[in-house]
């Protein structure tokens, strides 16, 4: 081959190789910068609108799904692949609202037990990839669980008459509570009905229907860990208005809250609000029993509702109670009205009491409790909300019958603003002044009195 021809061939080969290398390099660069992203599996998530703080739950679920390689699409339909729902549904991740129970019989003190924690009942949808298996643990750590707190509510307390006499003889104004102190102090917060005037400078009779004792008688409330009291009843003003006003000051000085009474109408209808582990819990008190003064403009007294058996049904007073609860609900997470009502010596609440309790719940009450008849009364579940119509006597001197010596303490557990557990704890008063816990057959007798007179329909 001639040298000239060989050179032409070599040049041609070099050019061809260069072109091939250029094209190959261009293809590599093109693929590098124009590579299409891998498609993510799209998954739709639906959050039920009735779940409080639903956006927090949605964000937490979405984060976990995106971390696991899913493209999250927020859905407006409960047919989505992932449902954060208030109701059970197989095949869905579920964050359930707290269900309530309404047992028809009772062989233990418990009357409601949670069947699911507020945010820890989570089902994994079978449609999802197995790498979502850690979602429960991740959610438990990423979502702030509501604070768990406990409250106990007791019935009527008088430190007057024979109760006062027993304490005075012992020179110990805490002795009435000696056998129930641990029960009451065990709760984060404790409430009762204070049905006497605690003030100096007035007579303190040992007989009759005037219940009063010296200011020192409040020592027992402090000793027992009682944090707040209802004064809406028919005996807290037995010592007269000036002495009652001194009692208000005495309670405040001891750090004990009070409700259902005040130096005017507005104060009597204003809730006492406690902060319990970050939860705002408000208490309102109402009496329907003649005896105390009804509060008014510039007049010290109680908040009243007027119903049977002592008054004709008064719509205006009930409407005011509803308005009080609605306003309170805008300022607090939990609202508990404490009523003083009913005929005496009966286990059965009357129909007007039931109507008032239902209207209180419709207005926003979280739970309804009551006292006065000196006997325990039935409970009711209305719209999944607990009503305890009468807790009975707690510290009292009525030894004329077993039923007047017996009562119950309502022991509750909340998660945030939700009641998740409630027990009725039977007690019996001995020696005209001192309650103790009941167990066994006697305790079951008190529970039977309650449950045989209860209402179970919502």
d(CA 71, CA 128): 13
Q: Are residues 186 and 130 in the same domain?
A: no
Contacts of 447 (CB under 8 A, 6+ apart): 106, 109, 424, 426
Q: What is the dihedral of CA 361, 364, 366, 368, to 10 degrees?
A: -40
d(CA 161, CA 210): 8
Contacts of 420 (CB under 8 A, 6+ apart): 98, 112, 114, 118, 413, 414
* pLDDT at residue 17 is higher than 90: no
Among the candidates 142, 162, 194, a domain finishes at 142
315 vs 85, higher pLDDT: 315
State whether residue 340 is helix, strand or coil: strand
Across 20-24, 43-47, 83-87, least confident range: 83-87
1 vs 228, higher pLDDT: 228
Question: How many other CB atoms are there within 10 angstroms of residue 323's CB atom?
Answer: 12
Structural domain contains residue 36: no
- Report the alpha-carbon angle 425-427-431, nearest 5: 170
* pLDDT at residue 57 is higher than 50: yes
Q: Are residues 93 and 210 in the same domain?
A: no
Among the candidates 142, 160, 194, a domain finishes at 142
Structural domain contains residue 23: no
Structural domain contains residue 9: no
**Confidence band, pLDDT 50/70/90 cuts, at residue 74:** confident
Could you read off the pLDDT of 305-342 as tens digits, one per residue?
Answer: 999 999 999 999 999 999 999 999 999 999 999 999 99
Q: Are residues 202 and 244 in the same domain?
A: yes
User: What value does the mean pLDDT of the chain take?
Assistant: 82
Q: Are residues 198 and 120 in the same domain?
A: no
Strand partners, 45: 74, 82
Cα separations (Å) of 31 from 8, 24, 329?
Answer: 35, 11, 63
d(CA 371, CA 409): 11
* pLDDT at residue 30 is higher than 90: no
Contacts of 347 (CB under 8 A, 6+ apart): 375, 376, 377, 378, 449, 450, 452, 453
Structural domain contains residue 29: no
> Which of 412, 436, 407 shows the shortest CA–CA distance to 422?
412
Contact 422/385 with Cβ under 8 angstroms?
no
Peptide bond into 199 cis (omega under 30): no
Domain count, the chain: 2
d(CA 330, CA 364): 10
Across 150-164, 259-273, 337-351, 438-452, least confident range: 438-452
| Percent of the chain's residues with pLDDT above 90 | 64
Q: Are residues 175 and 90 in the same domain?
A: no
341 vs 62, higher pLDDT: 341
**Confidence band, pLDDT 50/70/90 cuts, at residue 47:** low
Q: Are residues 164 and 80 in the same domain?
A: no
Q: Are residues 175 and 125 in the same domain?
A: no
Structural domain contains residue 109: no
* pLDDT at residue 7 is higher than 50: yes
Q: Are residues 123 and 169 in the same domain?
A: no
CATH, residue 404: 3.60.21.10
pTM, full prediction: 0.75
**Confidence band, pLDDT 50/70/90 cuts, at residue 360:** very high
Structural domain contains residue 108: no
d(CA 78, CA 82): 8
Which domain does 253 fall in, by range?
148-451
Could you read off the pLDDT of 104-151 as tens digits, one per residue?
Answer: 344 456 655 443 333 333 333 444 444 444 444 454 454 456 789 999
pLDDT of residue 122: 36
Mean pLDDT over residues 81-109, rounded? 39
pLDDT of residue 128: 43
Could you read off the pLDDT of 188-235 as tens digits, one per residue?
Answer: 999 999 999 999 999 999 999 999 999 999 999 999 999 999 999 999
* pLDDT at residue 387 is higher than 80: yes
Q: Are residues 82 and 209 in the same domain?
A: no
Q: Are residues 224 and 327 in the same domain?
A: yes
Q: Are residues 154 and 253 in the same domain?
A: yes
Q: Are residues 156 and 120 in the same domain?
A: no
Could you read off the pLDDT of 362-384 as tens digits, one per residue?
Answer: 999 999 999 999 999 999 988 88
Structural domain contains residue 17: no
Could you read off the pLDDT of 231-283 as tens digits, one per residue?
Answer: 999 999 999 999 999 999 999 999 999 999 999 999 999 999 999 999 999 99
Structural domain contains residue 346: yes
């Amino acid at each position: 081959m001639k040298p000239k021809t060989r050179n032409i061939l070599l040049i041609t080969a070099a050019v061809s190789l260069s072109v091939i290398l250029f094209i190959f390099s261009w293809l590599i660069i093109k693929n590098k910068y124009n590579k299409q992203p891998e498609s993510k599996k799209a998954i739709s998530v639906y959050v039920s609108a009735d779940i409080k703080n639903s956006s927090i739950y949605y964000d937490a679920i979405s984060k976990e799904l995106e971390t696991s390689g899913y493209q999250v699409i927020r859905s407006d339909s409960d047919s989505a692949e992932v449902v954060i729902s208030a109701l059970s549904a197989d095949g869905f991740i579920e964050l359930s609202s707290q269900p309530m129970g309404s047992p028809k019989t009772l062989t233990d003190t418990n009357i409601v037990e949670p069947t699911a924690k507020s945010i820890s009942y989570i089902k994994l949808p079978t449609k999802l990839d197995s790498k979502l298996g850690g979602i429960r643990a991740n959610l438990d750590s990423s979502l702030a669980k509501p604070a768990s707190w406990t409250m106990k509510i007791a019935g009527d307390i008088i430190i007057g008459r024979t109760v006062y006499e027993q304490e005075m003889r012992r020179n110990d104004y805490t002795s009435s509570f000696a056998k129930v102190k641990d029960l009451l102090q065990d709760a984060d917060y404790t409430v009762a009905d204070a049905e006497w005037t605690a003030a100096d400078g007035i007579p303190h009779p040992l007989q009759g229907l005037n219940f009063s004792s010296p200011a020192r008688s409040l020592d027992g409330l402090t000793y027992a860990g009682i944090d707040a009291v209802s004064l809406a009843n028919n005996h807290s003003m037995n010592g007269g208005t000036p002495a009652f006003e001194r009692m208000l000051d005495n309670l405040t000085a001891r750090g004990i809250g009070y409700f259902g009474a005040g130096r005017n109408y507005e104060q009597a209808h204003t809730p006492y609000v406690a902060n319990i582990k970050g939860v705002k819990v408000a208490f309102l008190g109402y009496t329907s029993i003649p005896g105390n003064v009804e509060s008014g403009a510039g007049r010290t007294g109680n908040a009243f509702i007027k119903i049977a058996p002592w008054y004709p049904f008064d719509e205006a007073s009930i409407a005011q109670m509803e308005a009080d609860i609605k306003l309170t609900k805008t300022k607090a997470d939990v609202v508990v009205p404490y009523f003083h009502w009913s005929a005496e010596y009966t286990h059965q609440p009357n129909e007007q009491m039931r109507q008032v309790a239902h209207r209180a719940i419709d207005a926003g009450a979280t739970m309804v409790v009551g006292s006065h008849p000196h006997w325990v009364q039935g409970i009711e579940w209305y719209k999944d909300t607990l009503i305890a119509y009468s807790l009975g006597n707690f510290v009292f001197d009525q030894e004329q019958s077993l039923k007047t010596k017996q009562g119950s303490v309502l022991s509750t557990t909340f998660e945030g603003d939700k009641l998740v557990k409630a027990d009725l704890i039977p007690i019996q008063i001995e020696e005209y002044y001192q309650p103790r816990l009941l167990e066994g057959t006697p305790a079951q007798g008190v529970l039977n009195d309650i449950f045989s007179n209860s209402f179970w329909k919502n």
